[in-house]
Chain A
């Protein structure tokens, strides 16, 4: 099976200078290259597909077994449509291609990368990024990492940064212990699907006490039509270690839908800190159904920064299991839903030890007929003391037909905790718009400024490049949204 079209859109606009960070500008990701795939599992999902993927990857028997078990779970579990949107029923699992790769080993130097794939990533600005400030970078093209490099200085510290295939083959003693433990296979239908057909994704191990000074970064790219990307990421931060990980994702626009279903597991051991930043900008036909969860041990801290701007339907609720005393979890979430999009995002905080604290701040913007949903869980079980949670959800509705929903679930046991949840829904103040117009701004500019103001206190906590880019993107999305 070959991709049908040649390059869909010519790379004529030179935006490289204006766009230092990948994966944010919608138009930037909208191109496709013809690729001759060496490995292709065909369409549809069966035991054969799973065996094919496992054999191509030359996996250990336990992984194949893990995959086959997961497949059984996936097939037996119902779609969660009793609470989730019925749009999920539009996913046709038989039409999806579960594995496509040009090769099995990621290239270590930029020159080794095949020219066509290189072009893709060059358009996305990857080597440029690496030269600038990244400590390590991995780029996934459909199913497999096409390029992966880690700076010597970080490697010397003992940091392992590899894709899932390599890591499970070369460091089973580290990764097997945690693999599939934070998010069990049967956690939900899509985590089971991922567990059956996972490919690619980053595996990171940061040794005791190592503080990785610069962020590690991954890029995910879907290039083929009807393709399902199922990357699997596992980050283990040993005692006292610190790491920041950033990911960006893009895909070209196809007329049929595409599925992205990742599983991301984080483990922060005693006193460790993990910050995980996502800027999701899939094309508007991608179902983005992702399970993300971290376990924070004693005095550890896990922080998810999650920006959802693209996709047709995103369902993603990053979670933290606060397992050790004084562990801390945080989710900062920004979602922007435009016409035809549903951003169903939120957070889960499971308190499982004394004096654990969690903080959720979610801001959503609905434009046109876009729909944004906050869904959250805060759970404080029996016989803990001194747990605290703060949740704030703010929704901004731009047009009269925009829609927003909030569905938090808070459950607390015992009298030694403090939990508060607040949500508000508003529109841009007419007075503010009028004032700005009276000072010479157009209505669109005024609207952009207001929306940027709405997310400003969150965006300020993002790395500089991301917050700048986010602002630019909002300007772009707000164009033509008024009137």
Chain B
């Protein structure tokens, strides 16, 4: 399908030209040849792929007119780590802080974890020290959900990111934190987090995206690769809190192996237009992927969420719950697809999108999809869009709670059944605080 039918004049590359790419490569330390080749190929893909067009089903309902590369550029290499705010006060076992794609500060692992082989390092170091593992998992899955062009941009201009690897049988009790900030007007950042959880290991990764100065416009194309080997338990929390003028892409790929379990929860608060693509592949029996998301949309924000649950093996399970609360003129899109391959009998797949409409100008679109090619399966999906239940509101008012307070309580209640799925009370409390702070703004 060609996009030539459109008369769009937007540039295909913006300031991300061949010259900018050459300068980007020149600024990097020596790279392994395979990675250099992949980056070059990715740049070619990025430069040649068209911008999303009106006939792209993967962009249905999305606002494409505000989707532009113009006005963004690679940030200067030196950026101050000042005026960063660490939003969640939870204890961590290790921490990496990136500003404009470069490591700013870090807190290293406790000696005993490091001794047992747990690695929390930058991708730049890992490319050399753990090249094979990085090569196997880094951006290994093609972008199938519509943002191939932006995924290629990410790969071409990826400077640094986090590499987390937990060896067989090791459990990391406290979460590992990864913080990515954008600083400077028009800064383009490409954060990346790669997590490899070995057989029967257990780890929680908490990622935070934010802007150093709230007023600036940024362009973020982030990606993460989550790999859970046999029997591993991997929990991933992503908190997106870019400035309200940011154009954001976040591309996730999750692979779940035999009897492994991945729980991911993405909290979407920031950005002017944010697109999140999440791909879960259940590759072996017993694999379970739980995909959760909470969005608080206000003003004229647009949140565009696209998900794909692929059941490639029998006896696999996936459970998706995406909840959006919409205020003002905000807009949300949820487009999800469950694919059950012909051999994946005994699949148990669930997909649910709930939209809570809090104003008369907000707009919610749902595209919950199923493609089932095996017959012995349990697949259901549901989508609802409604306002706060007037009866519940009335009940609270009858107990002396003012209408605004009642609505707020009911909205927080709306999010609670997602937050309740978290095993950690501390994380639960931290996320709740973050959501409430956006409401109070």
Q: Which residue of B lies closest to A428 (CB)?
A: B375
Point out the residue from A83, A383, A415, A425 that lies within 8 Å of B362, measured CB to CB: A415
Chain B CB within 8 A of A134 CB: no
A401 to B342, CA, bound (A): 6
Q: Is the CB of A424 within 8 A of B359?
A: no
Within 8 A of A (CB), among B328-372: 342, 345, 355, 357-372
Contact with B along A388-431 (1 / 0, CB 8 A): 00000001011111111111111111111111111111110000
Q: Is the CB of B363 within 8 A of A412?
A: yes
B175 to chain A, nearest CB (A): 36
Complex contacts, B378 vs chain A, CB 8 Å: 425-426
Q: Is the CB of A414 within 8 A of B362?
A: yes
Complex contacts, A402 vs chain B, CB 8 Å: 373, 375
Complex contacts, A416 vs chain B, CB 8 Å: 360, 387
Q: Is the CB of A406 within 8 A of B368?
A: yes
Interface hub of A403, A415, A416 (most chain B Cβ within 10 A): A415
Chain A CB within 8 A of B380 CB: yes
Q: Is the CB of A399 within 8 A of B375?
A: yes
Chain B CB within 8 A of A382 CB: yes
Chain A CB within 8 A of B384 CB: yes
Q: Is the CB of B357 within 8 A of A410?
A: no
A404 to B357, CA, bound (A): 31
Give me 29 A-to-B residue pairs in the complex whose CB atoms sit less than 8 angstroms apart, sorted by A's number. A82-B57, A397-B372, A397-B374, A397-B375, A400-B345, A401-B375, A402-B375, A403-B371, A404-B370, A405-B371, A405-B372, A408-B383, A409-B61, A410-B367, A412-B364, A413-B363, A414-B357, A417-B387, A418-B384, A418-B386, A419-B385, A419-B386, A420-B385, A420-B386, A422-B382, A424-B380, A425-B370, A426-B378, A427-B376
Complex contacts, A406 vs chain B, CB 8 Å: 368-370, 381
Q: Which residue of B lies closest to A425 (CB)?
A: B379
A407 to B58, CA, bound (A): 12
Cβ-closest 8 pairs across A and B = A397-B375, A415-B357, A411-B365, A406-B370, A415-B387, A425-B379, A413-B363, A412-B385
Point out the residue from B5, B367, B373, B376 that lies within 8 Å of A403, measured CB to CB: B373
Within 8 A of B (CB), among A415-456: 415-427
Complex contacts, A410 vs chain B, CB 8 Å: 365-367, 383, 385
A417 to B398, CA, bound (A): 24
A426 to B378, CA, bound (A): 6
Complex contacts, A423 vs chain B, CB 8 Å: 368, 370, 380-382
Q: Is the CB of B369 within 8 A of A417?
A: no
B148 to chain A, nearest CB (A): 15
A405 to B381, CA, bound (A): 12
B355 to chain A, nearest CB (A): 7
Q: Is the CB of A398 within 8 A of B360?
A: no
A347 to B186, CA, bound (A): 44
Q: Which residue of B lies closest to A384 (CB)?
A: B360
Dominant SS at the A interface? Answer: strand
A373 to chain B, nearest CB (A): 9
Q: Is the CB of B373 within 8 A of A401?
A: yes
Q: Is the CB of B57 within 8 A of A405?
A: no
Q: Is the CB of B366 within 8 A of A408?
A: yes
Complex contacts, A418 vs chain B, CB 8 Å: 384-387
Q: Which residue of A lies closest to B5 (CB)?
A: A78
Q: Is the CB of B363 within 8 A of A411?
A: yes
A403 to B377, CA, bound (A): 12
Chain A CB within 8 A of B1 CB: yes
Point out the residue from B1, B367, B375 that lies within 8 Å of A82, measured CB to CB: B1
A424 to B364, CA, bound (A): 22
Q: Which residue of B lies closest to A421 (CB)?
A: B383
Complex contacts, B374 vs chain A, CB 8 Å: 397, 400
A404 to B370, CA, bound (A): 8
Q: Is the CB of A395 within 8 A of B372?
A: yes
B386 to chain A, nearest CB (A): 5
Within 8 A of A (CB), among B140-179: none
Q: Which residue of B lies closest to A406 (CB)?
A: B370
A397 to B376, CA, bound (A): 8
Complex contacts, A424 vs chain B, CB 8 Å: 379-380
A411 to B370, CA, bound (A): 18
Complex contacts, B342 vs chain A, CB 8 Å: 400-401
A329 to B60, CA, bound (A): 25
A74 to B304, CA, bound (A): 34
A82 to B1, CA, bound (A): 7
Q: Is the CB of A414 within 8 A of B368?
A: no
B59 to chain A, nearest CB (A): 11
Q: Is the CB of A412 within 8 A of B372?
A: no
A418 to B391, CA, bound (A): 14
Given A402-B375, A410-B365, A423-B380, 19 additional A-B pairs, CB 8 A: A382-B363, A383-B360, A402-B373, A404-B372, A405-B372, A406-B370, A408-B367, A408-B383, A409-B60, A410-B385, A412-B357, A414-B361, A414-B363, A415-B387, A417-B357, A418-B385, A418-B387, A419-B386, A422-B381
Q: Is the CB of A415 within 8 A of B358?
A: yes
Complex contacts, B358 vs chain A, CB 8 Å: 415
A269 to B57, CA, bound (A): 35
Point out the residue from B5, B345, B360, B383 that lies within 8 Å of A415, measured CB to CB: B360
Complex contacts, B381 vs chain A, CB 8 Å: 406, 421-423
Complex contacts, B364 vs chain A, CB 8 Å: 411-413
